[in-house]
């Protein structure tokens, strides 16, 4: 029954049916390209982070000893003042 309705609709409106089919095909192609680009991007980010050998945030703060020490001293003085 549904098949007869679809076939009759395609016979009556060929141009509209072809246009809708073309838009559906283009939408499916664009969706698949977007998924492929997303997967490729996440793979590239993963490879970049493993190649860069990034440090942990706290390790990067501790590696800069003058800034880390000044921050540590400032924090300890603030905590001492609050205890009084």
Instruction: Place 55 in a pLDDT band, splitting at 50, 70 and 90.
Output: low
Mean pLDDT of 57-84: 60
DSSP state of 84: -
DSSP 7-68: HHHHHH-HHHHHHHHHHHHHHHHHHHHHHHHHHHHHHHHHHHHHHHTPPPHHHHHHHSHHHH
CA distance 25 to 18: 10
Tens digits of residue pLDDT in 5-47: 988 988 999 999 999 999 999 999 999 999 999 999 998 888 8
What global pTM score does this model have?
A: 0.52
Per-residue model confidence (pLDDT) at position 64? 55
- What token pair was written down for 69? 């020490």
Per-residue model confidence (pLDDT) at position 33? 97
């Amino acid at each position: 029954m549904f098949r007869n309705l679809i076939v009759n609709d395609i016979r009556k409106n060929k141009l509209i049916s072809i246009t809708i089919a073309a838009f559906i095909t283009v939408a499916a192609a664009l969706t698949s390209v977007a998924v492929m680009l997303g997967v490729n991007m996440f793979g590239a980010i993963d490879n970049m982070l493993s190649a860069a050998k990034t440090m942990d945030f706290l390790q990067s703060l501790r590696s800069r000893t003058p800034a880390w020490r000044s921050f540590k001293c400032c924090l300890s003085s603030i905590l001492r003042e609050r205890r009084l």
